[in-house]
Amino acid sequence: MEKILGSLLLVGFALPWYFTQRATGSVLAGFSAALGGLLVSVLILLWLSAQRDRYRAERQRRRDLEYVTSGMAAIDQMSGTDFEEFVAAQLRTAGWSVIRTAASGDYGVDLIAKKDDTRMAVQCKRLAKAVGIAAVQQVVSGALHHGCDQTVVVTNRGFTRAAHQLAATHHCRLVARAELQTWTGAAPIPVANPRPPEPADRARPPRERRRRLQPDLEA
């Protein structure tokens, strides 16, 4: 990509120089035209770069939306890599910037999420059984290596009692199946056509409403 950009800048400089100097016979005029062509080339490249970044951001936003709206059946069928991307999409949608660690040598941390001054180490476990104590041990130790001040383990299942006990000791958050789709606040469950609350009088049985509306004749 860098070679292509360099070639475009060279063409933007060289072509105006060549044609202007050939038409006018003036080196100064050719140099001025070359600078103008170079400036136009830079502006075009900046515009193209902005459009490319906007396209990539929009494509990422659409992918994140597809992930965060996944149902539990689809989540249970995800690969480990897809589950990591699902969790990353949840975090990005909630305003976190997310970095995926290397596949090897991650020191027990799959994702590093950053927001404001917070740096959070995340381990993702898409399993068919409860997550044990090892996941908590790994993410807690890995967080120190990656300079994180918060830790969390996310799974589509549950956690063993030992995992809960160790997590409480190290203030590690455990996200299990029950809160998997909402723990970041990124995927609230929409309510279709919510009904407004009824006034107090309308909520009463008809006989009781009529009784309240009748005047008090026993004064």
pLDDT along the chain (219 residues), means of 10: 61 66 70 74 75 75 84 93 95 93 82 95 95 96 94 97 96 96 64 40 44 41
**pLDDT at position 61:** 78
At 39, list the tokens: 């400036």
Q: Where are the domains of the chain?
A: 2-68, 72-179
Cα separation, 45 vs 51, whole angstroms: 10
Please give the C-alpha separations between residue 205 and each of 28, 108, 175, 196, 201, in angstroms, as whole numbers. Answer: 95, 60, 44, 18, 9
Q: How many CB atoms lie within 10 A of CB 113?
A: 24
Q: Whose structure tokens read 């469950």?
A: 189
Tell how strand 118-125 and strand 173-175 pair up: unpaired
The CATH topology of domain 72-179 is Trna Endonuclease; Chain: A, domain 1 (3.40.1350)
Residues 149/170, Cβ–Cβ less than 8 Å: no
Cα separation, 3 vs 93, whole angstroms: 34
**pLDDT at position 152:** 97
**pLDDT at position 211:** 45
**pLDDT at position 19:** 65
Residues 160/190, Cβ–Cβ less than 8 Å: no
E strand map for 80-217: 97-100, 111-115, 118-125, 150-155, 173-175
27 contacts: CB under 8 Å, gap ≥ 6: 21
pTM above 0.75, yes or no: no
**pLDDT at position 202:** 44
**pLDDT at position 15:** 67
At 132, list the tokens: 């044990």
Side chain identity, residue 154: V
Buried b (16+ CB within 10 A) or exposed e, 51-79: eeeeeeeeeeeeebeebbebeeeebeebe
